[in-house]
Structures are given as C-alpha cells and as structure tokens.
Amino acid sequence: MSKRTAVITGASAGIGEATARALAEAGFEVVLGARRLDRLQKLADELSGTAHVLDVTDPESVAAFAGSIPECHVLVNNAGGARGLERVEAADEENWRWMWEVNVLGTLRVTKALLPKLVASGDGHVLTVTSIAGYGVYDGGAGYTSAKHAQSALHRTLRSEYLGEPVRVTEIVPGMVETEFSLHRFEGDEERAAGVYRGLQPLTPGDVAEVIAFAATRPSHVNLDQIVLKPRAQYDGTRAHRS
C-alpha cells in the first residue's frame, strides 16, 4: 500500500519541523513548506520527503505549492507567529497586517487550495495549530490574539461545513512552547525572548508534535475536535507559576 501524504506548513523550524519528524516516523510521506528552503530541504532529505518553498502570505506561492502536490491526506496548518507586544493605543498596523496575513489568510489560502485533494483522498484530515491566544486576551497581545481567534473561528467553521465529507478537522491549541516564536516576536532580542520562558518548563516542539501525530493516526471515524496542551506551570495567557 502506498504511504499517506502529510503536508506541513511552516516546517522549517519549531513545531512544524518536529511535526514533520513525528509524521514521517508514523509512516507518512511528508511534504514540507516554508520560506527558508535551505533548512526545509535538509529536513526533507533526512525524512525522505519533499520540500517546496511556500509563503502563505502570497496567493501565487500558495497556488504553486498546492499545484506541486499530487495528493494530500493530512494538512497541518502550522505556519504562523506573532510580531510585537504593543498596547492597542500604540498598535503597529504593519505588525497587525502581517499577523492577520500569516495566521488567518495564510491558513485560509492553504486550506482552500488543498481541500479538493483532501476530499479526493477519501480520508482527509486538516489539523490547525492555533493557540490559547485564540481563547483569551492579554495586554499588548491584541494583534496576535485577534488573529488567533479568527484563525480558530475559520478552522471550526470548516468542521461544521464538512460534516458528511471524508475530512476530519482537529484544532491544536498550545500554550507556551519554546521555539523561535518569541525571538521573531521581539525582532531577534534574545534576552527578551528568553524571558518568556524564564522560571518554568515550557512545552517542547516535540511535545506538540506527538499530540498532532496521535490525532492524525486515530481510525478514520474518530475526530479529535480540539486538543489544548500547556506546560503544567501555565494556567492561561496571563498566569503562570515561575520559580
């Protein structure tokens, strides 16, 4: 029997990279997308998968990416991130625009482009990595939390719209995970990024990837709608225990 194909966006780092490894380990043929092709190609070679450059903020790039994929059983919408931590009164519109483009419209574009192939597979599965920021708010976080709320709403609508189709829909809702996420959010400020995780043990990308692989390997009639995972020391986006 030929392998099932899993497409992972944002697979060049963090949760996406770990998910590519976990799904390859679980027996999927992996197709990786991100902007940094050098990192992606190295990982694809290691996993005997395929790498394609992908910028989810660019409709032409998404069309070319989807067009180069012959079949798709599992789609992991993982590409995303945050920029800045300004209060609303000081909001930077460019940061907001980027967060909405990458998290919301990026997820929309890739999902829309691959849905025909997911349905045609006869056993499709869309997993979207949203965030606990999609379920709460925090000071300075409105750009990111609003984008993650919207991404979550888009994803959950799909669950309802595809009832009766051979497509499962799973939302992965992580809390703090130590990746390049905070480094990008704070424009490469390593000290500030490290502060996010100080005094507690955050999740690793592998912790999240294991959960994604678990959801993707349930029998076809089992839909895990939503999985929330956080470090033990984190309550929500505003409260965590730090020693």
Q: How many CB atoms lie within 10 A of CB 219?
A: 6
Here's the x/- map for ligand NJP, 97-126, by CB under 6 A: it reads as -----x------------------------
Tokens linked to 138: 């925090």
Binding ligand NJP (rule: CB under 6 A), the pick from 97, 156, 184, 192 is 184
Q: How far is the CB of 31 from ligand NJP (least distance, A)?
A: 13
> Is 209 an interacting residue with respect to ligand NJP (CB under 6 A)?
no
Report the C-alpha gap between 110 and 86 in whole angstroms.
29
54 sits near ligand NJP (criterion: CB under 6 A)? yes
d(Cα 240, Cα 116) in Å, to the nearest integer? 42
Q: Does residue number 152 form part of the binding site for ligand NJP (CB under 6 A)?
A: no
Query: Which of these ranges, 32-40, 65-73, 89-97, 155-163, lies near ligand NJP under the rule CB under 6 A?
Result: 32-40
Cα separation of 144 and 128, whole Å?
A: 16
Per CB under 6 A, 10 contacts ligand NJP:
yes
* Inter-axis angle of helices 106-120 and 59-67, nearest 10: 20
Q: Which of 78, 121, 152, 234 binds ligand NJP (CB under 6 A)?
A: 78
Interface with ligand NJP by CB under 6 A: which range of 20-28, 64-72, 73-81, 112-120?
A: 73-81
- From residue 69, alpha-carbon distances to 5, 18, 41, 198, 232 in Å are 9, 21, 16, 41, 39
Q: Annotated catalytic sites, by residue?
A: 144
Helices 142-161, 106-120: inter-axial angle, 10-degree rounding: 20
Distance CA 239, CA 243 (A): 13
Least distance (Å) between residue 204 CB and ligand NJP: 10
Q: Strand, coil or helix: what is 45? A: helix
Among 176, 193, 212, 215, binds ligand NJP (CB under 6 A): 176
Residues near ligand NJP (CB under 6 A): 9-16, 34-36, 54-57, 78-81, 102, 129, 131-133, 174-177, 179-181, 184, 205
